[in-house]
Amino acid sequence: MVIEGAGMKTIFGICIMLFFLLLTHCANGVLFNNGLYSHIVEPLTFNREPTEMLSDNKEGGGDIKHLQYIVTIEIGTNGIGDVAKKNGIANVYFADIERRSYIFGIWQQQIIHLYGR
């Protein structure tokens, strides 16, 4: 099958429109930010006081995997107390959350990073 005339012009027009969407970052929402792939790291706790990081500070992490298709399945633990106890952290100074999303949110992962002693 060979495309000629009006069909070829239509395909060419669609390709040009998609190229300009990508060029102007309008497609970023579809491709990256909660689209096909998203990776965000942000503070979980907001402590405006100065926090001293010493060489003997510990770091721990919790992990939740989330699968959603008709039914939602979550595997793992992300509780600050659970993560601290598992990694031997008595004093939590601050925490970060790392979020990854794949395939429009069907597969998601949340990782808690704790910092303390």
Given this model, what pLDDT does residue 61 score?
A: 76
Residues 6+ apart with CB under 8 A from 58: 87, 88, 89, 115, 116, 117
pLDDT given at position 12: 86
Q: Encode pLDDT of 36-82 as tens digits.
A: 778 888 887 776 776 666 666 777 777 778 777 777 788 888 788 88
Q: Closest Cα partner for 89 from 65, 63, 64, 113?
A: 113
pLDDT at position 93, please? 81
Please say whether the beta carbons of 61 and 92 come within 8 A: no
Per-domain boundaries in the chain = 1-31, 39-116
